[in-house]
Amino acid sequence: MKARTSWDVVCTVDDLVPESGVAVWTEDGPVAVFYLPHRLPALFAVSHTDPFTGKNVLARGITGDLKGQPVVASPLYKQHFNLQTGQCLEDEEVAVKTYPVLLDGNNVRVEIPATNKESAVA
Amino acid sequence: MSKKTLIVIGNGMVGHHFLEQLVETPAAADFDIKVFGEEKLLAYDRVHLSEYFGGSTHADLAMGTADWYAENHIDLRLGEQVTGIDRANQTITTPMGDYAYDELVLATGSYPFVPPIKGNEHPHCLVYRTLEDLDSIRASADGVKTGVVVGGGLLGLEAANALKSLGLDAHVVEFAPRLMPVQLDSDGGALLKHKIEELGVQVHTEKATTEIVEGEEARLRMNFSDDTHLETDLIVFSAGIRPQDALARSSELAMGERGGIVINDQCTTSDPHIHAIGECALWSEKIFGLVAPGYTMARTLASVLNGDTEAAFTGADMSTKLKLLGVDVGSIGDAHAQTPGARNIRFNDEQAGHYRRMVISEDGKTLLGAILVGDNSHYDTLLQYALNGIELPENPETLILPESQGGAPALGPDALPETASICSCHNVSKGDICGVIDAGCTDLAGVKAETKASTGCGGCAALLKNVVDSELEKRGVEVSKDICEHFPYSRQDLFNIVKVNGIRTFRTLIRDHGKGHGCDICKPAVASILATCWNEHILATDHVPLQDTNDTFMANMQKNGTYSIVPRVPGGEITPDKLIVLGEVAKEYNLYTKITGGQRVDLFGATLSELPEIWEKLIAAGFETGHAYGKSLRTVKSCVGSTWCRYGVQDSVGMAIFLENRYKGLRSPHKLKMAVSGCTRECAEAQSKDIGVIATENGWNLYVCGNGGMRPRHADLFATDLSDEELISAIDRVLMFYVRTADRLQRTSVWMENLEGGLEYLKQVVLEDSLGIGEELEKHMADLVDTYQCEWKTAVEDPEKRKRFREFVNAPSKKDPVQQWTTERDQRRPLLEEEPA
C-alpha cells in the first residue's frame, strides 16, 4: 500500500489562544496546538498526552522559553517539553510526539501520518 | 553468628530517639531488639504536651508509628511493666515472664516530684507528665473554675498554660522569690511574672504550702506558711523531676546519693552490659532534665553499641529558648554569673517589656551566659558567641541594644567557627555544611537533604540559609535571588517595578525589564502581582496564558486530568437549601464528594467542559467561587462561637464570615488560611493558620504566620484584646505587607522566619506604623475589596471566556477516552494505574 499522509484541518485561528494551547481531536488521537505569536513559525503541535502519566493535559500547560527553546510545562508534574522536538528537558529518555502544523488561510492544519491514521480507525 | 538480644526499658522520647539512631547503624543487624514501655502509648513528644488541650491528639504528638517499629523488626511491648532485673543471669522479669538480654538499656525517664505536703493525696491533686495525667486534669477541670500549679519552673508554666487553655482561672505558686529560678535572675523573673499576669495567670512567689484542706468556696484550700491561703478546685504539682531509677536500685547498680543511675562517658552503668540514657541517668553528678542532652546520650550509646570506641557523652549545653504562655524566655550558659570574675551587662526596657542580660568574662572577651525575657530575637547570636567562645566585639553591649540605639546586627555566618553547631536537633555543625558543599552541593535544598539540618524543629532555618549562602558565595557560586532566567529580580523587586511603573501586562514587563518570553515560574508569579496591583479578571485575554492550569480553569486539576470544585462556604456556615444544591449537582455530574479540612465541600471528577455548566447551577443557587485553585484566601474556619456554645465569648462565626468576605479573591504569594475561635479552647485551631483570631472577654487576640501542613508552625501572638475595627486594620496591614514583600510561593510562616527583625519588626510596621505606610496598606486593601468580582460568575456570563472550557476545540461532544472509573464506598473515583480495567 502507498504511504500517504494528510493535512487535516483541526481548528481555526479563532480557536487559538495566544501564548497558550488548545486540545484538538485528530485521527491520531488528542493533539495540543500551541500558538506563540512572538515566534516564527508561531504554531506548534505535540501530542496532548503527558508521557509521564498518560493523561490528556499538555495543552493546559504554561508555555514559555527555557534557554531559548520554546517549551510547555506539564500541568500535572511540571516537566518541560521542547515544542519543536518534543524532548523532555528533565529526562532525556522521554519525549512527546510532534506533528507538522501550518496555517492555511483561517484553518490550522496538522499532518497526520498515514500508518497511524489507519491503525487509529476504530 | 546468632543474633544478640538488646532490651530497651522505657519508650519515651529518648528511648525512641535511641532506636532511631541505632537502626541507622550496621550494628542494628546484630541485635534482636525488644522494647518494654510502661505506658500503653507509643513514645510521644512531652515537650509539647500542653498542645494536647489545644486539640492535638496522641497521634499528633507521637514520635513514631507502630509500623515503623514493625518495619525495623523491633518487638514493641507497650503496657508491659518490667518488675525486676537479674544481672547474674542477664534476664529481666515482667508479669508475662522472663526475657534474656545481652545488652540492656534503661531509658526509664523520670517522675514528677510531689512535695511532702499534708493533704497532697487528695484526688484533685494531680501531676503533669503523661497523656494520662492530662486526661485526669481535664476530667478534674470539668465544670470548675480555678486551678493551681505548684512550681514556677519551665514545666510548671507549661502546666499553667494547659490549665488556662482548659478555661480555668490559673494560678502559679512558687516557693522561690521568682519564676524559673534556675534559668532567670530576679529582674528577668519579675518581668516574666508581670507578662504572665497580663495574660491572666496569677503568680504567687515566696509561698510555701503547709497543708491542703477542704475548701469553702472551691474544692480545696491551700494554706501557706505566711498565714495566707488560696482556694482552688484542683492542684497540679510540677515541682521538679526525680529519676525513675527503682529498677536499677533494686538490682544494685551504682546510684547517686540523691538518686539517678550512675553512667560513664559511654552511657554505661556499673554493669558493663547495662546502659542508661535520659533523665534516669546521672552523669558527672548531674541529671539532665531537658530533651536535647537525652538525645545526645542516645546518639552516643548508639555509636558505642556500633563499636565506636571514640564515642563519648561529654556533657550538654543546658541553654533553652522557649515560649511560655506566649512569652519569649531564653537562658544561655552561666546565666547566674557564677564564674569567678564574671561581669554583667543588662538592658531592661520596661516599656516594651524586654529584658536582656549578658554575662561576660573578666577580660570582657567571651560571653559566658545570657538571660532574655520578652524577646528572643537575640538568642541565636548570643548562643553562638557563648557556645563557640567567639571573641566579643569591642562594645559588647551593642549585642543586646535595640538596633535603633546602635545595636549590632546578627552575627554574620563568617564569624562562626567550623565547630559551631547550626542545627542542634540533628547535630550539624558549620563544618558539616562546608563538607557537603565541598562535596558538590550547590543549594540550600541539597544541603538540607544531605545533612538533615533544619529538618527537625526548623528553628535554625534562617541561620542555615545564611551559612549556606555565605559559603556558596565564598566558593564563587553566585547565589541568585532572581526569580528565573527571564527576570534578574526577586518577587519583591518585580512587585515594586509593576506598582511604580503602573505596568498592567506581562508582555510590557518582560519587554522592558526582562528577557525572553517567560516560563511557568515567572508567569504565574507576575500574574499574582498584577492581580494584587490592578485586580483585573484572571481570564482577561492578556492574563490567560500566565496562569497555572488551576487558575486558568478556576478548578483544581487532579491526577487523572479532571478537576475538583470547591464553592465558597464563608465561615463554614451553610443553609440546608444550599447543602441540598451541592448534593444535587454532585449527583447529576456523578462527582466524588468529600468534606475538606477547611469546612467546605469538595466535588471531584468534573471534566473541563462540565465546569461552566456546574458553575452556572452553583451560581444560580447563590454560591461563589472558593478560590481553592488560587494562591489566595481559602477559607476562614470557625467554631460555633457565643451564639450556641456555652463557653464562647464572641460571635466567631460572624467574624469569620466577615473576614472571609473581606479577603476573598486577594491574590498573594501563596495560599492563605485563617480561622476564628470563639474562646481560648480554640476549637477552630486558629493558631495553625496564617491569620488566627481568638476571642477574649474584651475583644480579639490576633495570631499571625502560623502553618499546619508539611512544616507546622505555631502562630505568633501579635496583638491582644482588639476591637473589631482594630482587628481588621491590623489584618489589612499584615496581609498587604506580606503580599508586597514575600518571595514567590513563600507562606507567611517562612516569610516571618526570614523577615529581618522578625515578629518585633512586623509589630512595629503594623501596630506602630514605623514605616509610615499603614494608611497606604489599608487603602490598597480597601481598593481590592471594592473591586472584588466572583471570577466564575464573570466567566460563565462571557461566551468568549467559556470557549476556553472546550475539552477538544474541534469535537465538542468528544469525551476524553483515557478516563477510567470505578466505584468505591458508593462513589465514583478514578481507576488507578495498577488496577485492572
Cβ–Cβ of A71/B816 closer than 8 Å?
Answer: no
Percent of chain B past pLDDT 90, that is, above it, reads 51
List the single best residue of B486, B487, B517, B559 to mutate versus A (max A Cβ within 10 A): B517
Which CATH number is correct for B114-239, 3.50.50.60, 3.40.50.720, 2.50.20.10, 3.40.1010.20? Answer: 3.50.50.60
Residue boundaries of the structural domains of chain B: 4-110+243-305, 114-239, 491-547, 549-625+796-837, 631-789
How far CA B564 is from CA of B555, B589, B811, B817, in Å, comes to: 6, 12, 23, 19
Q: Which residues of A touch B553 (CB under 8 A)?
A: 60
Distance CA B49, CA B12 (A): 13
Of A56, A62, A63, the CB nearest to B816: A56
Q: Is residue A43 part of a domain?
A: yes
Q: What is the pLDDT of residues B532-548, one digit of tens each?
A: 888 887 777 788 888 88
Distance CA B812, CA B348 (A): 73
pLDDT at B754 > cutoff 80: no
C-alpha cell recorded at residue B587: 449527583
Q: In chain A, whose CA is at the least distance from the CA of B817?
A: A56
Distance CA B376, CA B462 (A): 14
Would you say B97 and B47 are in contact if contact means Cβ atoms under 8 Å apart? Answer: no
Please tell me if residue A47 touches chain B, with a CB cutoff of 8 Å: no
Classify residue B11 by burial, with Cβ atoms within 10 Å: 0-12, 13-18, 19+: buried
Q: What is the pLDDT of residues B568-597, one digit of tens each?
A: 999 999 999 999 999 999 999 999 999 998
Cβ–Cβ of A62/B523 closer than 8 Å?
Answer: yes
Cβ–Cβ of A64/B516 closer than 8 Å?
Answer: yes
pLDDT at B182 > cutoff 90: no
Q: Which residues of B touch A63 (CB under 8 A)?
A: 545
Distance CA A13, CA A107 (A): 6
Would you say B495 and B736 are in contact if contact means Cβ atoms under 8 Å apart? Answer: no
Gap from A89 CA to chain B (nearest CA, Å): 13
Provide the sign of the torsion angle of the four alpha carbons B25, B27, B29, B34, taken in this order: negative
Residue with cell 566579643: B392
Q: What is the pLDDT of residues A37-71, one digit of tens each?
A: 888 788 999 999 999 989 999 999 999 998 889 99
Task: Please name every residue paired with B260 in a beta bridge, in sequence order, or none if there are none.
Answer: none
Would you say A8 and A109 are in contact if contact means Cβ atoms under 8 Å apart? Answer: yes
Please tell me if residue B800 touches chain A, with a CB cutoff of 8 Å: no
Please tell me if residue A65 touches chain B, with a CB cutoff of 8 Å: yes
Distance CA B311, CA B302 (A): 9
Please tell me if residue B485 touches chain A, with a CB cutoff of 8 Å: yes
Cβ–Cβ of A24/B517 closer than 8 Å?
Answer: no
C-alpha cell recorded at residue B404: 535603633
**Which of B319, B334, B276 has the alpha carbon at shortest distance from B301?**
B276
**Which of B768, B647, B739, B760 has the alpha carbon at shortest distance from B696?**
B647
Q: Is residue A12 part of a domain?
A: yes
Distance CA A63, CA B520 (A): 7
Cβ–Cβ of A61/B520 closer than 8 Å?
Answer: yes
Binned at pLDDT 50, 70 and 90, residue A118 comes out as very low
Would you say B704 and B690 are in contact if contact means Cβ atoms under 8 Å apart? Answer: yes
CATH class, range B549-625+796-837: alpha beta
Would you say B765 and B733 are in contact if contact means Cβ atoms under 8 Å apart? Answer: yes
- Please name the amino acid found at residue B104: L
Would you say B375 and B354 are in contact if contact means Cβ atoms under 8 Å apart? Answer: yes
Q: Which residues of A touch B833 (CB under 8 A)?
A: 54
Task: Please indicate whether the domains covering B114-239 and B549-625+796-837 agree at the CATH topology level.
Answer: no
Provide the sign of the torsion angle of the four alpha carbons B772, B777, B782, B783, taken in this order: positive
Please tell me if residue B820 touches chain A, with a CB cutoff of 8 Å: no
The DSSP secondary structure of B62-117, one letter per residue, reads: BSS-HHHHHHTTEEEEET----EEETTTTEEEETTEEEE-SEEEE---EEE-----
Q: Which residues of A touch B545 (CB under 8 A)?
A: 17-20, 62-63
Percent of chain A past pLDDT 70, that is, above it, reads 89
A76-A78-A84-A86 Cα dihedral, nearest 10 degrees: -60
Q: In chain A, whose CA is at the least distance from the CA of B802?
A: A15
Please tell me if residue B500 touches chain A, with a CB cutoff of 8 Å: no
Task: Please name every residue paired with B357 in a beta bridge, in sequence order, or none if there are none.
Answer: B346, B371
Cβ–Cβ of B516/A68 closer than 8 Å?
Answer: yes
User: Residue A122: its pLDDT value, please?
Assistant: 35
Cβ–Cβ of B818/A56 closer than 8 Å?
Answer: yes
Please tell me if residue A54 touches chain B, with a CB cutoff of 8 Å: yes
User: Residue B588: its pLDDT value, please?
Assistant: 96
Instruction: Please state, rounded to an integer, the average pLDDT across all residues of chain B.
Output: 89
Distance of CA B172 to the CA centre of its chain: 26
Cβ neighbours for B654, distance < 8 A, ≥ 6 positions apart: B571, B641, B643
Gap from B15 CA to chain A (nearest CA, Å): 40
User: Residue B641: its pLDDT value, please?
Assistant: 93
Q: What is the pLDDT of residues B779-824, one digit of tens each?
A: 999 999 998 889 999 889 988 888 889 999 998 888 888 788 999 9
Binned at pLDDT 50, 70 and 90, residue B191 comes out as very high
* B645 labelled binding-site residue: yes
Q: Which residues of B touch A24 (CB under 8 A)?
A: 808-811
Residue with cell 556558596: B472
Gap from B518 CA to chain A (nearest CA, Å): 5
- Please name the amino acid found at residue B813: S
**Which of B569, B733, B723 has the alpha carbon at shortest distance from B650?**
B723
Gap from B491 CA to chain A (nearest CA, Å): 18
List the single best residue of B539, B801, B809 to mutate versus A (max A Cβ within 10 A): B809
Mean pLDDT of B392-413: 69
Helix or strand (DSSP H, E) at B6: strand B4-9
Please tell me if residue A18 touches chain B, with a CB cutoff of 8 Å: yes
Q: Domain containing A50 — which CATH number?
A: 2.102.10.10
Gap from B496 CA to chain A (nearest CA, Å): 23
Please tell me if residue A106 touches chain B, with a CB cutoff of 8 Å: no
Of B524, B544, B808, the CB nearest to A30: B808
Classify residue B678 by burial, with Cβ atoms within 10 Å: 0-12, 13-18, 19+: buried
Among residues 557-576 of chain B, which lie with CB inside 8 Å of chain A? 557, 559-561
Classify residue A47 by burial, with Cβ atoms within 10 Å: 0-12, 13-18, 19+: buried
Distance CA B241, CA B237 (A): 10
Cβ neighbours, 10 Å, residue B225: 12
Would you say B701 and B722 are in contact if contact means Cβ atoms under 8 Å apart? Answer: yes
* B639 labelled binding-site residue: yes
Q: Which residues of B touch A38 (CB under 8 A)?
A: 517
Q: In chain A, whose CA is at the least distance from the CA of B818?
A: A55
Query: How many Cα neighbours within 13 Å face the side chain of B491?
Result: 24
Q: Is residue A1 part of a domain?
A: no
Cβ neighbours, 10 Å, residue B684: 30
User: Residue B616: its pLDDT value, please?
Assistant: 95
Please tell me if residue A75 touches chain B, with a CB cutoff of 8 Å: yes
Cβ–Cβ of B524/A62 closer than 8 Å?
Answer: yes
User: Residue B1: its pLDDT value, please?
Assistant: 56
Cβ–Cβ of A23/B803 closer than 8 Å?
Answer: no
Distance CA A22, CA B460 (A): 46
Cβ–Cβ of B809/A80 closer than 8 Å?
Answer: no
Question: What count of CB pairs under 8 Å joins A to B?
Answer: 95
Return the minimum-mean-pLDDT range out of B36-50, B263-277, B295-309: B36-50
Cβ–Cβ of B520/A64 closer than 8 Å?
Answer: yes
* B457 labelled binding-site residue: no
CATH class, range B631-789: alpha beta
Mean pLDDT of A85-113: 90
Please tell me if residue B553 touches chain A, with a CB cutoff of 8 Å: yes
Q: In chain A, whose CA is at the least distance from the CA of B542?
A: A18
Please tell me if residue B40 touches chain A, with a CB cutoff of 8 Å: no
pLDDT at B80 > cutoff 50: yes
Which ipTM was obtained for this model?
Answer: 0.87
Gap from B560 CA to chain A (nearest CA, Å): 6
Provide the sign of the torsion angle of the four alpha carbons B778, B782, B784, B790, taken in this order: positive
Q: In chain A, whose CA is at the least distance from the CA of B546?
A: A62
Please tell me if residue B514 touches chain A, with a CB cutoff of 8 Å: no
For B37, phi then psi, to 5°, come to: -125, 135
CATH of domain B4-110+243-305: 3.50.50.60
Mean pLDDT of B24-49: 87
Binned at pLDDT 50, 70 and 90, residue B531 comes out as confident
Please tell me if residue A49 touches chain B, with a CB cutoff of 8 Å: yes
∠ CA B701-B702-B706, nearest 5°, is 130
**B46 or B505, higher pLDDT:** B505
Classify residue B499 by burial, with Cβ atoms within 10 Å: 0-12, 13-18, 19+: middle
Of A23, A60, A80, the CB nearest to B549: A60
pLDDT at B393 > cutoff 90: no
Q: Which residues of A touch B524 (CB under 8 A)?
A: 62
Binned at pLDDT 50, 70 and 90, residue B458 comes out as low
User: Residue A121: its pLDDT value, please?
Assistant: 41
Would you say B761 and B717 are in contact if contact means Cβ atoms under 8 Å apart? Answer: no
Please tell me if residue A103 touches chain B, with a CB cutoff of 8 Å: no
Q: In chain A, whose CA is at the least distance from the CA of B815?
A: A25
The DSSP secondary structure of B421-458, one letter per residue, reads: EEETTTTEEHHHHHHHHHTT--SHHHHHHHH-TTSSS-
Return the minimum-mean-pLDDT range out of B490-494, B520-524, B589-593, B689-693: B490-494
Q: What is the pLDDT of residues B460-494, one digit of tens each?
A: 776 788 788 888 878 877 666 778 889 988 888 88
Q: Residue A12 is part of which domain span?
A: 6-120
User: Residue B425: its pLDDT value, please?
Assistant: 65
